[in-house]
A and B are shown apart, each in its own frame.
Chain A
Amino acid sequence: MALDNTIDQPGERPAAPPKTWSAARITGFVLCGLWAVLGLLLVWSLIRGYDAELLERYAPRMLGGLWLTAKMVVLSIMMGSALALPIALARISTSKIVSKLAFGYVYFFRGTPLLAQLFLTYYGAGQFRPFMEDIGLWWFFKDAFNCVMLAFTLNTAAYQGEILKGAIQSVPKGQREAALTLGLSGPVTFFKIILPQALITALRPLGNEVIFMIKGSAIASVVTILDLMGTTKLAYSRSYDFNVYVWAAILYLSMVETLRYFWDRMERYLTRHLRMPNEN
Chain B
Amino acid sequence: MWESLGLLSFGAEGWGDELAHGLKITVLLAISTLPFGLALGLLVALAKNSNERSLVLAANIYTTIFRGLPELLTLFIVYYGGQIALQKLIGLFSDVYVEVNGFVAGMIALGLVFSAFSSETFLSAFRGIPKGQPEAGKALGLSSFQRFRLVVFPQLVRLALPGLSNLWLVLLKETSLVSIIALDDLIRKTHLAVGNTKEPLLFYSVACGIYLIIALISSKGLNAIELRVNRGQERT
**Chain B residues near A232 (CB-CB < 8 A):** 73
A231 and B173 CA atoms in complex are apart in Å by 25
User: What separation, in Å, do the CA atoms of A233 and B80 have in the docked complex?
Assistant: 11
Give the nearest-CB partner of A23 in chain B.
B52
Least Cβ–Cβ distance between A105 and chain B, in angstroms = 12
**Distance of A120 Cα from B211 Cα, bound (Å):** 14
A249-B180 CB under 8 A given contacts A24-B50, A111-B212, A218-B72: no
The docked-state distance in angstroms from the alpha carbon of A112 to that of B210 is 9
A127-B201, A256-B68 known; A245 vs B58 contact (CB < 8 Å): no
Q: How many residues of chain B have a CB within 8 Å of chain A?
A: 50
Q: Mark B168-210, 1 if CB is under 8 A from A, else 0.
A: 0100011111011000000100110010001111001101100
- The B40-87 residues at the A interface (CB cut-off 8 A) are 47, 50-59, 61, 64-65, 67-73, 76-77, 80-81, 84
> B73–A248 contact, CB under 8 A?
yes
* Pair B73/A111 contact, Cβ less than 8 Å: no
For residue B232, give the distance in angstroms from its CB to the closest CB of chain A: 28
Instruction: Report the minimum CB–CB distance from A119 to chain B (whole Å).
Output: 5
Stretch at the interface among A26-34, A90-98, A269-277: A26-34
Identify which of B72, B200, B211 contacts A112 (C-beta below 8 A). Answer: B211
B215 within 8 A of A: yes
- On whether the beta carbons of A252 and B73 are closer than 8 Å, the reply is yes
Which partner residue on chain A sits nearest B81 by CB separation? Answer: A242
Cβ 8 A contact of B70, one of A112, A126, A218? A218
Q: Which of B169, B187, B201 has the most CB of A within 10 A?
A: B201
Write the nearest CB–CB distance from A236 to chain B, whole angstroms.
Answer: 7
What residues of A have a CB within 8 angstroms of the CB of B169 in the complex?
111
Indicate with 1 or 0, residue by residue over A110-121, a CB within 8 angstroms of chain B CB atoms.
Answer: 011111110110
B64 proximity list for chain A (CB < 8 A) = 253, 257
Which parts of B137-192 form the interface with A (CB within 8 Å)? 169, 173-177, 179-180, 187, 190-191
Q: Are B70 and A124 in contact (CB under 8 A)?
A: no
A55: Cβ under 8 A from any B Cβ: no
Contacts of B84 in A (CB 8 A): 242
Find the B residue at minimum CB distance from A214: B70
Provide the bound-state CA to CA distance between A115 and B188, in Å: 11
Given A108-B212, A119-B191: A242 touches B70 (CB 8 Å cut-off): no
Chain B residue with minimal CB distance to A126? Answer: B200
Nearest to A215 among chain B residues (CB) is: B70
Question: Which of A127, A211, A236 makes the CB contact (< 8 A) with B199?
Answer: A127
In the complex, the answer to whether A113 meets B174 with C-beta atoms within 8 Å is yes
CB of A119 within 8 A of CB of B55, answer: no
Across the interface, name the chain A residue whose C-beta is closest to B58. Answer: A31
22 A–B contact pairs at CB < 8 A?
A24-B52, A31-B54, A32-B57, A34-B58, A108-B212, A111-B215, A111-B216, A112-B211, A115-B179, A115-B187, A116-B211, A120-B204, A123-B194, A214-B70, A218-B70, A219-B177, A219-B180, A233-B76, A245-B73, A245-B81, A253-B68, A257-B64
Residues of B at under 8 Å CB distance from A?
Answer: 47, 50-59, 61, 64-65, 67-73, 76-77, 80-81, 84, 169, 173-177, 179-180, 187, 190-191, 194, 198-201, 204-205, 207-208, 211-212, 215-216
Residues of A with Cβ closer than 8 Å to B? 22, 24-25, 27-29, 31-32, 34-35, 107-108, 111-117, 119-120, 123-124, 126-128, 211, 214-219, 221-222, 229, 232-233, 236, 242, 245, 248-249, 252-253, 256-257
> A-B pairs with the 5 shortest C-beta distances?
A28-B54, A28-B55, A123-B200, A31-B58, A113-B176
